[in-house]
Structure 1
Amino acid sequence: MTLPPSSLVGQMLLAVAAALLLVQGLGAALIYRAQHEGFQAEKVNALAFRLIAEARGGERMHRRRRTGSDDFFSDRLHRFAVETSRTSPLRESERRDEYAEDKLREILVAQDFQPAEVVVVRRPVAADPYARFAIERRTDRLGMPPAARNRALATDLYVAGVRLPHASSWMVARVRAPPSTYAMIKPLLVQTLIIYIVLVGVVALILRRITRPLDALTRQVAHFAATQDPSGQIAPMGPADVRRLIIALNAMEWRISSLLDEKDVMLGAIGHDLKTPLAALRVRIESVEDERERARMASTIEDIVRTLDDILSLARVGRPTDPVERTELSALVAAVVEEYEDMGEPVELGTTERTVLEARATWLRRALRNLIGNALRYGASARVSMQREADKVVIRIDDDGPGIPEGSLQTMMQAFTRGDPSRNTETGGAGLGLALARAIAKQHGGALVLVNRRTSEGQVEGLTAKIVLPLS
């Protein structure tokens, strides 16, 4: 079973998109991890610096203006003094950041600063009364707009608490926390989307250049398969591999067409060379005095001519010379049945529906005659009907003969296969009638179907032959 999409372009684009998603996902995960660890290390270093400076007698920092951005105001808003508290900054509803705590402890120990306890939590500025009060007071003092205060209150803080050995109070420092996960992932998603659009667009253009000649080549091959006409071949185009394929298929079509032309010429010559001496034999047998023997010889010649006609017709059915015409099918069926009625044959015309379709009337008459002839030969009578079923029309020929063994229904439609193993021409032809009828139905895009009719007790009561033709 082929999973969607079924086209080459769709499958290639899906493969590229899946591969890009995997690679970009891994890259995004690595970039996110590196950025997150970098931001976190920066903030932990800032916390450690403030705590160590406070413990050693005060914080001295150079204040730098960063022109052309809002970082100056942001730094002013998020610069908090180290607070001394009797209790740990950790609240019951908060979760400790163990990674930040370990990093902070490592930095403090490396600076000969031995803490007894270290606590680091992340909380919104709005949930921290000290930070909230500081930001509101500074925005009022600096005359900053309310939007700047709201942006500052919407950020997060790292709140670090350190308790020294033999001390009952905590030093609490605050710095702005790294960007949230969403803020870090959003640029990666935008980057991925841009890469998707560019790469998939380029791949789609390349695939279009490849598949456009393949699509034209497919239509040409389908046309040749239906008509065996090599005219209208497409010119080589597309990549070098596709051009070589088009050249090879064009050459193959011309070779096949040439072989079919040679076959038609050969068959015409065979038909002419055989029918001429057979016509001469018809004349010569008139000199045979024994009337019974003369009749047998004439019958044999007629069988040979009929078999020869069937063989030539079967060989040429794939390349008919007569054009496709709009045909009123019910009138054609009625005309064939009327031919048998005029000859006194027990052929009955049943229900028909007026149906017009594109067909080769001469070939369809030939197929009907073969099927009706088989019904008369093996079933003594024939009933012909025609009806429309959805998007197709079915011509049905019923007989009352012995039917065909179930295992031989398909085999009987092969050339030179007969139900009578003795191959006695008095009980049947050369075994070409059903094969020719099936080839004619297939030529019109349809099929020949053989079905045994059975009684309620399961006994075979006759054979039904159906020519199924598409209406379109």
Structure 2
Amino acid sequence: MRRHVSLVGQIFAILLLTLTLEFALGTLVNERANQLSLQDDEARRLAEHLVIARKLLTEQPPDERHALALQLTTDRYDIHWTAASPPPPPLAPGLERMRRQIIDWEPTLEQAHLWLRLAAPARMSQIDGGLRLADGSWLYFGMRHSGGKWTFTIGRMGLALIPVLALLVVGGMLIRRTLAPLRDLTQATERIGLSDEVMVAEGGSSDVRNLIRAFNAMQTRIHRLITERTETLAAVGHDLRTPLARLQLRLENLPENDAREAMEGDLEEMGEMIDSLLAFLGGEKNAEPPVRIDVAVMAATVVDAFQDHGRPVDYAGLDHLEMAVRPLSLRRAVVNLIENALHYGGGARVTLERRNREVLIRVDDDGPGIPRDKLEEVLKPFARLDEARQRNTRGLGLGLAIVARAVEQEGGRLLLANRPGGGLRAEICLNLPEEDR
């Protein structure tokens, strides 16, 4: 699963990468310069030590030179003397510069056949060498490496990291403060259309200010459109119900026959269409707040109301289950599912159960079901399975769309599936709040 990094995180990562690269390159350049400087100083000290050792050994008789060489050995340089005269080994690559530095400091060593070699491969800090004395004997020396240079470098890098980390912390705080208006804008965007206008205070850079100003203007236009639509729908609904009520009164004065029964059915259907249209297009402004109710009692009450009208609806499940929901919209969703089951299946079975962290409201019927490729399409507004729009299909095709919207407002899921034995199963899955689990 791809994870999305926040804008603050991305800017902080860029800042971290930039400072890290700058620090690494600066350290490498500084260490290179220090290494060259340290090599010059090392060559000078070695040259001085070799001149002194060569002079003292030359002045001593051969039988005393071994003891003197031990006295000339220090914690940094090893000195040995031998009367043999082995040929000098080839000069290791990279040591020619150091050899020239030693000779530049002490030109007298040029005639002593000074040679250098690496005591350990690829380790420039451990060097052995030798030079010839005037009587043909040889002075051998070795440079000891204590490892302190690298330790000092690590410590210095650690100290250098402290201001870098401090800059990162300060930079992160400043970035977070700079982007605070964008966080406010994000929160306001999530609430747009759900409640009254939430005007975001203009702040931040000029680009952010322009964005917030445009958002506030857009929000004002959207809320004005929602308000106008809601008021228009309310007015249209009122105006349509008035002639419907007059027609209903006039029908009561007509003799009872098939024509009157058909007209009453048409009037009832028109009323239901108006109700469903107003429910769907009513908008989300000033939406119904969640209230803690007994969902089991609500579902059983809905089923009882259908049974009182002689409709074949049964209820099975929990007797009590309290949770915070929007009672009116959830009740309408259950009613719509039952009416859909009665219309297409001739009966409905309502079940309420609690499974793990979910509450399931299930409505089953014995109707023809829905083709597999149409299960998602029927959730769209004004969707109909009968393309010919035969008049035996009541309503505007908004029943399941209203259910889907109500369930979405509760943060749940609406699942439609064909039952193995025939019929349709509509299931509302609601997440049980943490305090009720």
Query: 1:27 offset after TM fit, Å?
Result: 2.1
- Partner residue of 2:195 out of 198, 207, 228: 228
CA distance in 1, matches of 2:242, 2:12: 65
RMSD: 3.7
Structure 1 counterpart of 2:169, which letter?
A: G
CA gap of 1:38–1:177, structure 2 versus 1, over 3 A, is: farther
Single out whichever of 351-360 and 366-375 deviates more from structure 2: 351-360
**How far off is 1:465 after superposition?**
0.6
Instruction: Flag structure 2 segments of 5+ consecutive residues without an equivalent.
Output: 59-73
AA matched with 2:116: V
- Counterpart position of 2:69: none
Q: 1:164-216 CA distances to partner (integer Å, 9 max, x unpaired)?
A: 6x963124568887974424413441343123222202211212202333333
Give the corresponding residue for 1:11.
10
Letter in 1 for 2:371: P
Match of 2:138 in 1: 170
> Counterparts in 2 of 1:54-453, with a 5 A limit?
85-86=82-83, 99-100=94-95, 102-105=97-100, 108=103, 111=107, 113-116=110-113, 118-119=115-116, 160-163=129-132, 168-172=136-140, 180-224=148-192, 227-231=194-198, 233-285=199-251, 291-316=257-282, 318-319=284-285, 322-352=288-318, 354-453=320-419
1:400 partner SS: coil
Which residue does the alignment assign to 1:64?
A: none
1:99 aligned counterpart, secondary structure: coil
SS at structure 1 position matched to 2:424? strand
Matched-pair contact (CA < 8 Å) for 2:44–2:101: no
Residue identity opposite 2:215 in structure 1: L
The offset of 1:454, in angstroms, is 0.9
1:78-98, CA deviations, whole angstroms, 9 ceiling, x for partnerless residues?
A: 7989875435899xxxxx975
Q: 1:339 to 1:317 in 2, by over 3 A?
A: farther
1:89–1:172 Cα contact (<8 Å) kept: no
Q: Provide the residue aligned with 2:65 in structure 1.
A: none
- Aligned partners of 1:35 and 1:323: how far apart in 2? 71
Q: Deviations over 1:26-75 (max 9, x none)?
A: 2222222221222112222343355467779999xxxxxxxxxxxxxxxx
- Are the equivalent residues in 2 in contact too, given 1:324–1:360 (CA < 8 A)? yes
1:168 aligned partner, one-letter code: G
- Does the 8 A contact of 2:226 with 2:283 survive in 1? no
5+ long unaligned stretches in structure 1: 60-76, 91-95, 124-155, 456-460
Q: Which moved more, 1:376-385 or 1:112-121?
A: 112-121
Q: In the alignment, residue 355 of structure 1 is paired with which amino acid?
A: L
Which stretch has the larger CA shift, 198-207 or 47-56?
47-56
| CA 1:392–1:254: 2 relative to 1, 3 Å | farther
Tell me the amino acid that sits aligned with residue 195 of structure 2.
Answer: Q
1:321 shift after superposition: 5.8
Equivalent pairs counted in the alignment come to 412
- Contact 2:195 2:287 survives alignment (8 Å): no
CA separation of 1:10 and 1:430: change in aligned 2, threshold 3 A: closer
- Residue in 1 aligned with 2:67? none
Sequence identity, in percent? Answer: 33
Instruction: Describe the SS at the equivalent of 1:104.
Output: helix
Paired AA for residue 16 in structure 1:
L
What is the DSSP-based 3-state SS (H/G/I as helix, E as strand, rest coil) of the residue aligned with 1:350? strand
Instruction: Give 2:417's aligned amino acid.
Output: V
| Structure 1 range deviating more: 32-41 or 108-117 | 108-117
Which whole-Å CA distance do the structure 2 matches of 1:82 and 1:433 have between them? 100
Change (3 A) 1:313 1:83: closer
Given the two structures, how large is their TM-score scaled by the length of structure 1? 0.75
Within 2, Cα distance between the matches of 1:466 and 1:452? Answer: 11
Separation (CA, whole Å) in 2 of partners of 1:79 and 1:323: 83
Q: Secondary structure at the match of 2:296?
A: helix
Conserved 8 A contact 1:50-1:173: no
